Structure 1
Amino acid sequence: MRSLLVAVFLSVAAIVASQFTTLPAFLLDPALLESPAEASNTATFVLLTLNFLGFFLVGGFYLWWTERGWDWLDLRMPTRRGWGYVLAGIVGSIVFVMLVNIVATVLQLPSSENQVVELIGDDPNMVLLMIVVVFLFNAPAEEFLFRNVVQKRLYAAFSRMGAVVVTSVIFALIHIPAYALAADGGLAPLGAIGVSLTVVFFGSIIFGYLYAKTDNLIVPTAAHAAFNAFQFAILYLVLRFAPEEAEEMTAMAVDVALALAPF
């Protein structure tokens, strides 16, 4: 119970911290509050990067407070076997998302729109900035907190796969705010929220498994970043060369991008 409470507390604390670390971005461009799509690319980039700063701060503070220190981090260059896991994680994530899209299409299941869609708008340059954010801030921050801090902390109370599952449940639950609000400001349908959170949950299972098998933070981080970058790269090509399909593609690409934290 103590391990579970610590995991939940760290997750919630990271979300709360991100609300404070992003304040400079709103001061830089107040349009982020009312019309995110009309905000400058600079302000949006600052918002996205500062959002993930909260994850680093909470995780780092926990390591300092518990005297675990930076030696707790599992950072080292992956072996050939480790890179094999990275590749398997990327391919597995892409295949999983394709299957979800097929099932959702056949069964006509709804999916809610992630709030990041509002920030991206239809600007291809913003999508390129998202790829930078994914590699430098998004994937490293989330994998650091949820894999090397939360999941590793849960090893003390659960089996490795048990810790992966519990971490993934927490990870999915904290994404509720990102998917719960509909485009008109109301609440999205419960079925749509459920579909989106299911995708997030199983995506976390994949990356958590990679960490559990390798004890190397770089492995899930690299797979996580490459997968999300792949999604945004497709979106960039659509926005650049087939803008008439941009609206549908934006929703699909962002909704399955698994790792974008809520704002």
Structure 2
Amino acid sequence: MATTSQQREDGPIRSTMVAVGLAAFGILASQFTVLPALLLDPAVITSPLDASIASRTLLLTLNFVGFVLAGAIYLAATDRGWSYVDLRPPTKQGWLYILAGVLGSIVFYVLVSVIVQLLSLPSAGNSVMTYIGDDQTMVLVMIAIVFFFNAPAEEFLFRNIVQKRLYDAFSRVQAVVIASAIFALIHVVSYAVSESLLATVVPVVVVFGGSLIFGLLYAKTDNLFVPIAAHASFNALQFGLIYIALEYDLEAADSSAALLVDLAAAVPL
């Protein structure tokens, strides 16, 4: 459904500033929600792979809880309430959108893999991998986290709150692009440790493209379940590929497989 002029209550500058502020608030909130994990086991920060699986799981889970907290505070502060959340069981058409989103993400991911290989582009790894290393059990834990915490939390804040908030001043397509740009930019910190600017830019561009896909799913369906399901399924496929690579040592067996695994580790959650 297109956004009408009557629905555009704010100017584009104010709406964009609010959207950026919400994203920043989500990041800030996550710094507080992870504190229990840090207090219980400081090794999750100083030496993540030496920390227990339970500690790493708690840290990653609480990180995404921060996004939900930020969105909940915004809904309460603006009197929008939980009725503002567009979460309901998908229709048959909704399931088709989910399938299209997963397939579209895979195609996009493969295209990026080919381009990176052809142009010999560097790509920094995702900071989440510092909590996984070569631990296959942790890879399986991450699959559960993306379904129950990662995808629901990110889609709630960046689609149902940030993107929907942008509908007040922009068309839906414009809102999808702006929300995706904001989502991509907050991931810069995950890759900024790389010594190469290009290695940082490549995965950020990738997450922007993926975010466009999930944003369009939400814009088309007005149902938060749809991008959550597509997002979680795609991330689960990422970690499934990493698990298979660790199990069968694919990186050592074939250079093309190694590239796919490296990109799976680089593509943001």
TM-score range (shorter-chain normalised) is: over 0.9
Q: Percent identity?
A: 57
Equivalent residue in structure 2 for 1:59, among 35, 59, 71:
71
1:140-155 alignment runs, 5 A limit:
140-155=152-167
Aligned to 2:121: 109
Count of aligned residue pairs for this structure pair: 253
The answer to whether structure 1 residue 214 and structure 2 residue 221 are counterparts is yes
Aligned to 2:22: 10
CA RMSD of aligned residues (A): 1.4
Structure 1 unaligned residues grouped into runs of 5+: 183-187
Equivalent residue in structure 2 for 1:84, among 88, 96, 102:
96
Matching residue's letter, 1:154: L
Q: Shift of residue 39 of structure 1? A: 1.2
Equivalent residue in structure 2 for 1:176, among 188, 193, 201:
188
Equivalent residue in structure 1 for 2:264, among 235, 253, 256:
253
Q: Shift of residue 248 of structure 1? A: 6.1
Matching residue's letter, 1:217: L
Instruction: Kindly indicate whether the alpha-carbon contact (under 8 Å) linking 2:238 and 2:265 is maintained by their aligned counterparts in 1.
Output: yes
Matching residue's letter, 2:232: A
- Structure number, greater radius of gyration: 2
Query: Which has the higher mean CA deviation after the structures are superposed, 27-36 or 59-68?
Result: 27-36
Q: Shift of residue 241 of structure 1? A: 2.4
Q: Shift of residue 251 of structure 1? A: 3.2
Matching residue's letter, 1:203: G
Normalized against structure 1, the TM-score is what?
Answer: 0.93
Instruction: Kindly indicate whether the alpha-carbon contact (under 8 Å) linking 1:117 and 1:250 is maintained by their aligned counterparts in 2.
Output: no
Aligned to 1:224: 231
**What is the alpha-carbon distance in structure 1 between the residues aligned to residue 260 and residue 216 of structure 2?**
29
User: Structure 1 pair 244/85, CA: closer, same or farther in 2 (3 Å)?
Assistant: closer
**What is the alpha-carbon distance in structure 1 between the residues aligned to residue 145 and residue 139 of structure 2?**
10
Q: Shift of residue 252 of structure 1? A: 2.1
User: Structure 1 pair 44/248, CA: closer, same or farther in 2 (3 Å)?
Assistant: farther
Matching residue's letter, 2:229: A
**What is the alpha-carbon distance in structure 1 between the residues aligned to residue 208 and residue 80 of structure 2?**
28
Structure 2 unaligned residues grouped into runs of 5+: 1-12
